[in-house]
Amino acid sequence: MSMSIRNQFPGTVTAVAVGEAMASVKVRLAGGQDITAAITTDAVKDLGLAAGSAVKALVKSTEVALATGPVEGISIRNQIAGTVADVTTGGAMGSVKVTVEGGELTAAITKDAVEALGLASGASVVALIKSTEVSLAAA
């Protein structure tokens, strides 16, 4: 199935913590990074998720924030280090492609943020993704 979601990462479920309505699913990506997805318990059941399940983690580019280094004192658990591969800006927005272990991700951020952070090819960045913005699909 073709999708408009640019960020699609293969991985394996390492842990599932199920609550009454929501679940926290930890996934080891093919590049070795660990991320967490907060999804409904119904989705866990429908997808048959358990430790060892092969999944694809999906994140819209508009849900990826960038920082110039690791961020402490923040509730965002998913922080993936990488290197800027390409920056394209328009009148108001920018698209930043980041090379990470095992692949590439795209962040859609404002042109002002691109300029303020000094983002250019070769710059080190950390992609920040809230666990509630990570969707999972059975692989």
**What are 36-59's pLDDT values in tens digits?**
999 999 999 999 999 999 999 999
pLDDT at 23 over 70: yes
* In the predicted structure, residue 102 carries a pLDDT above the cut 80: yes
Please state the rounded mean pLDDT for residues 96-105. 96
Amino acid code (one letter) for 80: I
Indicate whether 65 pLDDT > 70: yes
Q: What is the Cα–Cα distance from 85 to 72, expressed in whole angstroms?
A: 25
Q: Which of 58, 50, 44 is nearest to 14 (CA)?
A: 50
pLDDT of residue 73: 97
Percent of the chain predicted with pLDDT > 70:
99
Q: Is pLDDT of 97 > 80? A: yes
Mean pLDDT across 63-87: 97
Sign of the CA dihedral with 27 first, then 5, 75, and 110 last: positive
What's this model's pTM, rounded to 2 decimal places?
A: 0.94
Structure tokens at 77: 């658990």
pLDDT of residue 3: 86
Q: What is the mean pLDDT of residues 21-36?
A: 97
Average pLDDT score over residue span 85-97: 97
Check residue 89 and give its pLDDT: 96
pLDDT band at 1 (very low <50, low <70, confident <90, very high): low
Residue 90: Cβ-neighbour burial (10 angstroms; 0-12, 13-18, 19+): exposed
